[in-house]
Amino acid sequence: MSILLEVSGLGKNYYKQRGITRKKVTALNNVSFRLHSGKTLAIVGETGSGKSTLAKLLVGIEKPDSGIIKLSGEQVDISNYKKYNHVIRFIFQDAGRSLNPLQKVGQMLEDVLRFSTILDAEQRRVKIRKTLKQLGLLDEHAEYYPHMFSGGQLQRVALARALILDPKLLILDEALTALDPSLRAQIVNLLLELQQQDGLAYLLITNNLQLVRHISDEMLVLYQGQAADSGLTAEVFANPQHDYTKKLINSAL
């Protein structure tokens, strides 16, 4: 199994202006982890623990202050997102709010392809159709506007937008939390199926420990910007090291 993503010593500080001095806020401090292709890594932590900062650093929305990100063994400058957005895709918490309500779904998918690939119009059309089918949507859904979909279908559309570039890694930022139980089960099944078929790797950022236990291979617990616990999911659940992890696992079980 090849290592897809290797992060070592990642750090990020934010600065708050306080008169003439600046106050340093450490969002992320010396975080390292590895993710193999076809595996799922769950990142757990409370708000303000740096989960979302980590996700932002990985997709290049923010630049890290220190640390190295390696993609398939090569060190990359991830904030050059034009180059790397094929490999790492991001799914937001609320699919309904992250889609443009004025744009048809087909148009939205077409834009993604137009900006990021060299496919011509015909190839793009074929690709869109194929992706929609892969996610259990129909061809005519390309002509729909986001408000015409139900919650679960919207999440599928968001997945389609992420998967249309055939990424290697998908970052799910609380993407499963807001869904209803039966829809969540459907989406989880879909994600598991995609992982088995295409060897997709997931980085799952969530608070739902039951879900973490079910779908992730490894987990990383962040506490105040630092890695509190990491390792195989089953091991962390069975034998938590850090006090915060113990508290978290006790509260969920």
Partner 1 sequence: MLLLDIKNLTIELETPDGLIRAVDRVSLSLREGETRGLVGESGSGKSLVAKAIVGVLNRRWRITADRFSWMGQDMLQVSAEQRRKIIGRDIAMIYQEPSRSLDPTALVGEQLEEAIPTSLLDGYWWQKPFLRKKKAIALLHKVGIRDHQNIMQSYPYQLSEGICQKVMIAMAIAKNPKLLIADEPTTALESTTQAQLFRLLASFNQLKGMAILLISHELESVARYTQNLSVLYCGQLVESGDTTAILKHPFHPYTHALIKSVPEFQPDLLPKSPLYALPGSIPTLQHLPIGCRLGPRCPNARKECVKTPNLERLQNHYYSCHFPLLKRDES
Q: Which residues bind partner 1 (CB under 8 A)?
A: 46-47, 150-153, 180-186, 188-189, 192-193, 207-211, 213-215, 233-234, 247-248, 251-252
Residue pair 155/99 in contact by the 8 Å Cβ criterion = no
Q: Provide the minimum distance between the beta carbon of 118 and partner 1 in the complex, in angstroms, as a whole number.
A: 36
Q: Provide the minimum distance between the beta carbon of 132 and partner 1 in the complex, in angstroms, as a whole number.
A: 16
Given the complex with partner 1, which of 52 and 85 has the nearer CB atom? 52
Given the complex with partner 1, which of 56 and 184 has the nearer CB atom? 184
- Distance in angstroms between the alpha carbons of the first and the last residue of the chain: 32
Given the complex with partner 1, which of 85 and 155 has the nearer CB atom? 155
Q: Provide the minimum distance between the beta carbon of 9 and partner 1 in the complex, in angstroms, as a whole number.
A: 27
Task: List Cβ neighbours of 83 (8 Å cut-off, separation of 6 or more).
Answer: 76
> What is the four-CA torsion angle of 246, 252, 151, 59, rounded to 10 degrees?
0
Length of the chain: 253
Given the complex with partner 1, which of 12 and 51 has the nearer CB atom? 51
Q: Provide the minimum distance between the beta carbon of 208 and partner 1 in the complex, in angstroms, as a whole number.
A: 7
Region of 142 on the Ramachandran plot (φ > 0 left; ψ -120 to 50 alpha; else beta): alpha
- Cα–Cα distances (Å) from 100 to 14, 55, 59, 95, 178, in that order, read 30, 22, 20, 10, 19
Given the complex with partner 1, which of 20 and 250 has the nearer CB atom? 250
